[in-house]
Amino acid sequence: MTGLDLTGKTALVTGGGTGIGLMIAKAFCDHGAKVYITGRRLEVLEATANRLNNERLVPLQMNIVNKDSIRNAVKVVDQNDGKLDILVNNAGILGQYFPYISDETAPEHEKMGDFLFEQGSFESWSEVLQTNTVAPYFVTMAFLTLLQRGAQSRPGETSSVISISSAGASMKLSNNNFTYPVSKAGTTYLSTLLATEFAIHKIPVRVNCIEPGIFPSELMSGTPEEIANLMQKPAPGAFSATPLLRAGKDEEIATMAVFLASSAGGFTTGAVMRIDGGLSLVNPPPSSICVSSSTSTMTSTSNPASASSPGLVTTPIADAKVSTNTNGIVATDASPGDAGGDGDGDAGGDGDAHGDARGHGDRGDADSAAVGSAVVETVE
């Protein structure tokens, strides 16, 4: 058995029906694990499982913000397997999106505070924080006993919890959405706290966090060629394009999750793995980069020649000022001012979501939209 082999292990991925959650679930199956994919809409999960035709991929209905629903999912896994080896807290929602935050030409920008106060709501903030930050805590605690059993079934090994946060949690930009990066910063820190407490109390469960950058998802419409072209320029709300000038690939995040879930990652806990192609390094630009009024480009004060160095992306100021258009990246069925959505496809997002007119709905994998994308983030 190799270090990345997951044979005999049982995993559960929230928001596993589409997007990053499905990328991870498929990789776990490919490495031998039995994987429960959860969401609020069972028919969507079943359609995914039927399409992939993998007997190790098991649909399981669970609403991550409802304790009774979580208890029922724990009961199902307990009755069927008696343990859980891997838990991936992936489901999430984006929240409200306000293009005029970064668009200085928008009439709302001049009185941005007034508009954000009136158009935002405590309910929207609560919904995002409850889903992205609070739910992973309760889901982890609900499954902790089964996770401990999983570790006990493999003497000398540990179980694994992986939380999917967002590169936006580490960036100092709102990307036209204050709620989402705040909630994901909480996700990242929660992961650190859980890892610390479990280690102190000798609970054999490792906890790590992945902060994705821009990954293809249903939040990004267009052909692969169109998306590739979009990656050559900054997304709305960002200063610079991803330095690698492309979106992430399925295997680039899925393999990291496999590593953290496997015995190969057995010495890793409390880690934050950022997989964003360097996006968070240049948004905002490092302190060594300033704006030259004579050239209207971003150049390095420490090394002026670096502005033309191979591989270094320099961004004209005209491009850094983001307009209200989405540069081709759109959120299906999302109303203006909203982050789009996350769901099983009908909301224009990832995970398992109802996708109402606001783009919310069942919780899914908001991160695969990507930080800085027109919809808001990546994540991610």
Domain boundaries, the chain: 10-369
Compute how many other C-beta atoms are within 10 angstroms of the C-beta atom of residue 113: 7
Highest mean pLDDT, choosing among 26-35, 104-113, 239-248, 316-325: 26-35
pLDDT, residue 221, reads 54
Task: Among 26-30, 103-107, 344-348, name the one with the lowest average pLDDT.
Answer: 344-348
Q: Which range, of 86-100, 190-204, 345-359, averages the lowest pLDDT?
A: 345-359
| Gap between the Cα atoms of 245 and 225, Å rounded | 13
Mean pLDDT on 265-287? 86
Whether residue 342 is predicted with pLDDT greater than 70 in this model: the reply is no
The listed range with the strongest mean pLDDT (90-99, 100-109, 116-125) is 116-125
Note the pLDDT of residue 190.
Answer: 98
Of residues 174 and 266, the one with the higher pLDDT is 266
Q: How confident is the model at residue 256 (pLDDT cuts 50, 70, 90)?
A: very high
Of the listed ranges 2-6, 158-162, 354-358, the one predicted with least confidence: 354-358
pLDDT at 15 over 80: yes
Min mean pLDDT across 113-122, 149-158, 258-267 is at 113-122
pLDDT for residue 347: 36
Q: In this predicted structure, what is the pLDDT of residue 276? A: 86
Q: Residue 316: pLDDT above 90?
A: no
Catalytic residue among 36, 97, 100, 180: 180
Quick one: pLDDT at residue 155? 92
Confidence of residue 307 (pLDDT cuts 50, 70, 90): very low
Q: What is the pTM of this model?
A: 0.76
CB distance 257 to 27 below 8 Å: yes
* CA 333 – CA 35 distance, rounded (Å): 30
Q: Which is the catalytic residue, given 124, 163, 165, 217?
A: 165
Q: Which of 73-87, 222-236, 283-297, 342-356 has the lowest mean pLDDT?
A: 342-356
pLDDT band at residue 34 using 50, 70 and 90 as cut-offs: very high
Give the list of residues 6+ apart from residue 339 with CB closer than 8 angstroms, or none: 93, 94, 95, 96, 97, 177, 180, 331, 359, 366, 375, 376, 377
Question: What's the CATH number of domain 10-369, 3.20.20.120, 3.40.50.720, 3.40.50.970, 3.90.550.10?
Answer: 3.40.50.720
Mean of pLDDT over the chain: 77
> pLDDT band at 222, cuts 50/70/90?
low
pLDDT (average), residues 24-47: 96
Q: Which of 9, 26, 34, 184 is catalytic?
A: 184
Q: What is the pLDDT of residue 217?
A: 63
For the question of residue 180 being annotated catalytic, the response is: yes
189 is catalytic: no
pLDDT at res. 336? 32
Q: Which of 38-52, 59-73, 130-144, 322-336 has the lowest mean pLDDT?
A: 322-336
Q: Report residue 287's pLDDT band, with 50, 70 and 90 as the boundaries.
A: low
Compare 93 and 26 and report the one with higher pLDDT: 26
pLDDT at 129 over 50: yes
Distances (CA, A) of 167 to 86, 172, 173, 232: 23, 10, 11, 18
- Examine the pLDDT at 252 and tell me if it is beyond 80: yes
Is residue 349 over pLDDT 80? Answer: no
The yes-or-no answer on residue 69 being catalytic is no
Mean pLDDT of 289-315: 37
Q: Is the pLDDT of residue 94 over 70?
A: yes
